[in-house]
Every structure is written in structure tokens, then in C-alpha cells.
């Protein structure tokens, strides 16, 4: 029955393109963060963090466009609640990446530790996976890919927890400067929260998959 319904339903020309824009933007903002944490000096880092700031605003604009569409469109490609949950999760990922970048800049963090780099690179992997899964919502032909991506993101979130907690334990053991400890702790936790939101997005994709595949 789902196949018959999908055949006769009008093609989604509003939401799916916006979902894909949001997915592409997440890859771009996470790439900008990776470039920032790997920058050779603070001046170069500021350039990439400005890019993060710009892309976070792009993400907000896409989110706003999707919510406007929900208010004006009677037929949606899947449940309105799932669209709302997916868009909020994608927006939250960008927000936490932005918060991590801003904290690195505003706190004037001079030394980027290996854990920050590892978390940023892991976030890029997770965002690329989310982008792949979001593209599959167009047809639901490759449901196995969506399921596989969700498993990888779940595993990635667990890795992010381990990286963050291990580095925090090391900081509390070894960092003598209390202010520096607080600064680095804040950045690490923003990065880890971004990974949590990637997992939230994956959970929504799984729910959509179960209902619509």
C-alpha cells in the first residue's frame, strides 16, 4: 500500500531540496571547524571561525524556510512531527559547532589539543553520513544505507563521549591553570554535544525509515 500511495503522491518539490541544503550546509560547517582546529595560528583560525559563523546563519535560514513550508503546505513527504524533529536536530548540530568555534575564538584558546581535533574530525564524518542518509529520503530506495548510517552515527557518538571524557579526566589531573581548564572543558563539551545532536538526527531518520520504507 505504501508503494501505491507513493506512486500517486505528488513529488516533494519543497522539503527534500531544503533537507539536502541543510545536509550540505552541515558538511560545510563541520569542514570549516576542522580547518579551524587545524589552522597553523590564531589569525588563520579566525578566518575559518568566521566561516563557521556565516554557515550557522545559512543553516538558520534553511530551518526558517522549512518551518514556513510546514505552515503553508497541506501534504508533506512524511509526518510533520518527524520533519520538525529532524530539522531541529540538524539545526542543533550547527548551533553546537558554532558555539564550539565561538568559544575557541572568544576564550582566546592558543593551544588546540588532540581531543578537540579528533572530535571535530569525527563530527565531519558524522555530518557527511547524515548528508548521505538525508539524500536517500528522496526515494527511500536504499533504506539499507540509511540504517547503516544510523548505526555508524550511534557508534560515533559513543566514541565522542569517550574522547571527551578521557580528555576531561586528563585536564583535571594535569591542568594547573583553573581558568584554562574551564575554557577547554567548555569547548570539549560543545563538541561532544554536537555529536549528541548528530545521534538525535540519526534517531529521527530511523523513525522516518520505519514509518515510510
Angle between helices 178-212 and 143-174 in degrees, nearest 10: 170
The model's pLDDT over 151-185, given as tens digits with 9 standing for 90+, comes to: 999 999 999 999 999 999 999 999 889 999 999 99
Q: Would you give the DSSP letter of residue 175?
A: -
- pTM score, whole prediction: 0.91
Residue 212: phi, psi to the nearest 5?
-120, -15
Q: Which residue, among 89, 107, 95, 92, has the nearest Cα to 187 in the 3D structure?
A: 107
Q: At 165, list the grid cell.
A: 571524557
Domain residue ranges in the chain: 11-212
Question: Residues 103, 175: contact at Cβ < 8 Å?
Answer: no
Residues of 26-63 as b/e, b for ≥16 C-beta within 10 angstroms?
Answer: bbbbbbbbbbbbebeeeeebeebbebbeebbebbeebb
**Predicted confidence band at 72 (pLDDT cuts at 50, 70, 90)?**
confident
Helices (H), 38-113: 42-72, 80-106
- 79-128 pLDDT, tens digit each: 899 999 999 999 999 999 999 999 999 999 988 999 999 999 999 999 99
Q: What is the 3-state secondary structure (H, E, C) of 114-137?
A: HHHHHHHHHHHHHHHHHHHHHHHC
CATH architecture assigned to 11-212: Up-down Bundle (1.20)
**Chain mean position to CA 144:** 21
Q: Tell me, what's the pLDDT at 192?
A: 97
Taking only the tens place, the pLDDT of each residue in 7-52 is 334 456 788 999 999 999 999 999 999 999 999 999 999 999 999 9
Amino acid at each position: 500500500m505504501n508503494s501505491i500511495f507513493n506512486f500517486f503522491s505528488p513529488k516533494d518539490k519543497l522539503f527534500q531540496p531544503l533537507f539536502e541544503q541543510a545536509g550540505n550546509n552541515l558538511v560545510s560547517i563541520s569542514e570549516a571547524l576542522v580547518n579551524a582546529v587545524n589552522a597553523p595560528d590564531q589569525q588563520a583560525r579566525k578566518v575559518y571561525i568566521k566561516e563557521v559563523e556565516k554557515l550557522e546563519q545559512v543553516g538558520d535560514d534553511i530551518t526558517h524556510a522549512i518551518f514556513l513550508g510546514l505552515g503553508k503546505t497541506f501534504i508533506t513527504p512524511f509526518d510533520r512531527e518527524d520533519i520538525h524533529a529532524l530539522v531541529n536536530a540538524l539545526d542543533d548540530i550547527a548551533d553546537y559547532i558554532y558555539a564550539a568555534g565561538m568559544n575557541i575564538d572568544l576564550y582566546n584558546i592558543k593551544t588546540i589539543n588532540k581531543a578537540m581535533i579528533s572530535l571535530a574530525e569525527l563530527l565531519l564524518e558524522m555530518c557527511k553520513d547524515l548528508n548521505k542518509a538525508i539524500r536517500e529520503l528522496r526515494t527511500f530506495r536504499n533504506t539499507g544505507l540509511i540504517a547503516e548510517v544510523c548505526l555508524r552515527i550511534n557508534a560515533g557518538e559513543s566514541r565522542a563521549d569517550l574522547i571527551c571524557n578521557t580528555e576531561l579526566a586528563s585536564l583535571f589531573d594535569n591542568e594547573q591553570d583553573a581558568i584554562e581548564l574551564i575554557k577547554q572543558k567548555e569547548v570539549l563539551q560543545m563538541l561532544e554535544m554536537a555529536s549528541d545532536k548528530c545521534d538525535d538526527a540519526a534517531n529521527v531518520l530511523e523513525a522516518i525509515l520505519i514509518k515510510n520504507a
